[in-house]
Amino acid sequence: MSAILNTYNRKKISFKRGKGSFLYASNGKKYLDFVQGIAVNCLGHSNNYLNRAIQKQSKKLWHVSNAFVIPEQEKLAKRLKQKTFADYISFQNSGAEATEASIKFARRYFYSKGKKKKNRILCINNSFHGRTLATIFASNSKKMTEGFYPKVDGFDHFNFGDHKGLERSINSRTAAIMVETILGEGGIKVIPEFCLKELRKLCNKKKILLILDEVQCGVGRSGKFLAFEHAKIKPDIVPIAKGIGGGFPVGAVLVNKKVATGMKPGTHGSTFGGNPLAMSAGNAVMDVMFKKGFLNNVKNNGRYFIRELNKIKDRYPNIIKEVRGKGLLIGLCLKKDQTNFINKLSDNSLLTIRGSENVVRLLPPLNVTKKEINLALKILNKVCDNYK
Ligand SMILES: *Cc1c(COP(=O)(O)O)cnc(C)c1O
């Protein structure tokens, strides 16, 4: 009997080690891992460059309080600033913390302008922003909020794709709209570029802030460093997390100058956020991701993978309804419940993970090779071939 609190339906597989796109199970089996800790290990398992960076830092200094200057943190912040829309960065440890801090920053901005009642955040129904009390009520999914009332107030909702409902939901108390640029847990639903452009315009018109949750779709996953860059817009606040530490827990909130004016010493903090060891991981990920051709490679491999997956869909229209995604954030939307399909893939040594709407998520490391993608395609074909 496990002493772990029963909050996960765990698969009965465990792993001894990992290398790149592969995991080696305790039972001796080798798996092609297209989960990668749910879009976390952007450079695959046990990446040599990341290993060296963390080892080097671990011998110098692990942790100091944010009460002191942390040069490794200054360095990563400067680089994120240089590579994105952001003017300032606040480091956290996880995605939920980063989205929750984003909510705080938006509220605090209007508070500092004397608009104390302008504090509501408008979100998409059944989206995903994390598992803290505030973020589950931001997501507004019954599955996540059931049993956790009283409700954390301050969130309004509209349905994905319901433009009229969105406009109708904005009122004088709305401080920000917060959406995932690409809905991850929700089933890899891409918000089209023209919608993102309209969303920016709408926020400008209503003088409210735009928060784009890029915890899953950010950090190179979509083929650009941040997914909204495809639409050539600039949000006001962007939480990131999953990929930025390459497997080490790191979260961050990127904000523009305007939002930054609402914050001052004492208004937010974190014991662990941005410690030297975490920052050495973040800096190493940035080193690799901004090497010439890296992001282009993600884009090209993503295009290839999606094109080939569509061919499988055309061959098995009774199994696969739709291929969704951008870059290497990919979802196969099945006609029926995906549980059995995922198990069959795993039986054939390909690890994938579910998303809402019968989706099977395919999340290879960003440095996956074409050969590994072809191996995944071969397994997918085989499983479809034998699927009843
Ligand atoms: C995973 C995720 C989160 C929460 O991240 P945690 O590190 O699990 O707290 C928030 N938003 C999005 C879009 C995510 O995919």
Q: 37 alpha carbon to ligand 1 midpoint, in Å?
A: 12
Please name the residue whose Cα sits nearest to atom 5 of ligand 1. Answer: 95
Q: Which two tokens stand for residue 296?
A: 């282009």
For residue 388, the model assigns a pLDDT of: 78
Q: 221 alpha carbon to ligand 1 midpoint, in Å?
A: 14
pLDDT of 326-378, one tens digit each?
999 999 999 999 999 999 999 999 999 999 999 999 999 999 999 999 999 99
SS3 content of the chain, % helix, strand, coil (to 5): 40, 20, 40
Residues whose beta carbon lies within 6 Å of some atom of ligand 1: 94-96, 99, 128-130, 180, 184-185, 213, 215-216, 241-242
Is 8 inside any structural domain? no
Q: 97 alpha carbon to ligand 1 midpoint, in Å?
A: 9
133, 286 Cβ separation under 8 angstroms = no
Is 7 inside any structural domain? no
pLDDT of 61-101, one tens digit each?
999 999 999 999 999 999 999 999 999 999 999 999 999 99
CATH number at residue 172: 3.40.640.10
- Whether residues 302 and 193 fall in one domain: no
Give the burial string for 176-199 (b: 16+ CB within 10 Å, else e).
bbbbbbbbbbbbbbbbeeebbebb
146 by Cβ neighbours in 10 Å (0-12 / 13-18 / 19+) ranks as exposed
Average pLDDT over every residue of 211-218: 98
Q: 179 alpha carbon to ligand 1 midpoint, in Å?
A: 12
- Whether residues 219 and 155 fall in one domain: yes
Q: Which two tokens stand for residue 90?
A: 């606040």
Q: Which of 289, 314, 338 is the last residue of a domain?
A: 289
Is 84 inside any structural domain? yes
pLDDT at 1 over 90: no
- Whether residues 278 and 328 fall in one domain: no
- Probe residue for ligand 1, chosen from 97, 99, 179, 353 as the CB with the greatest number of ligand atoms within 8 Å: 99
- Whether residues 299 and 376 fall in one domain: yes
- Whether residues 174 and 209 fall in one domain: yes
**pTM for the whole thing?**
0.98
Is 9 inside any structural domain? no
- Whether residues 280 and 371 fall in one domain: no
Q: 93 alpha carbon to ligand 1 midpoint, in Å?
A: 11
pLDDT of 28-60, one tens digit each?
999 999 999 999 999 999 999 999 999 999 999
- Report the candidate in 351, 353, 368 with the shortest Cα–Cα distance to residue 24: 351
- Whether residues 136 and 197 fall in one domain: yes
Q: How far is CA 210 from the centre of its chain?
A: 17
Q: 242 alpha carbon to ligand 1 midpoint, in Å?
A: 7
| CA torsion angle 67 69 75 79 (round to 10) | 50
Is 6 inside any structural domain? no
The tokens 């941040």 sit on which residue?
226
- Probe residue for ligand 1, chosen from 128, 136, 363 as the CB with the greatest number of ligand atoms within 8 Å: 128
Q: What is the rounded average pLDDT for all residues in the chain?
A: 98
Average pLDDT over every residue of 302-320: 98
Q: How many domains does one find in the chain?
A: 2
Q: 124 alpha carbon to ligand 1 midpoint, in Å?
A: 15
What is the Cβ-side half-sphere exposure of residue 147, based on CA atoms within 13 angstroms?
Answer: 2
- Whether residues 258 and 345 fall in one domain: no
Report which ligand 1 atom has the smallest distance to the Cα of 183.
Answer: 13
Neighbours of 321 (CB within 10 A): 16
CATH number at residue 309: 3.90.1150.10
Q: Which of 266, 289, 312 is the last residue of a domain?
A: 289
Is 4 inside any structural domain? no
Q: Quick check: bond before 150 cis, omega within 30?
A: yes
pLDDT of 67-76, one tens digit each?
999 999 999 9
- Whether residues 167 and 266 fall in one domain: yes
- Whether residues 242 and 336 fall in one domain: no
Is 27 inside any structural domain? yes
Q: How far apart, in whole angstroms, are the C-alpha atoms of residue 53 and residue 60?
A: 11
Domain that holds residue 346: 15-41+293-385
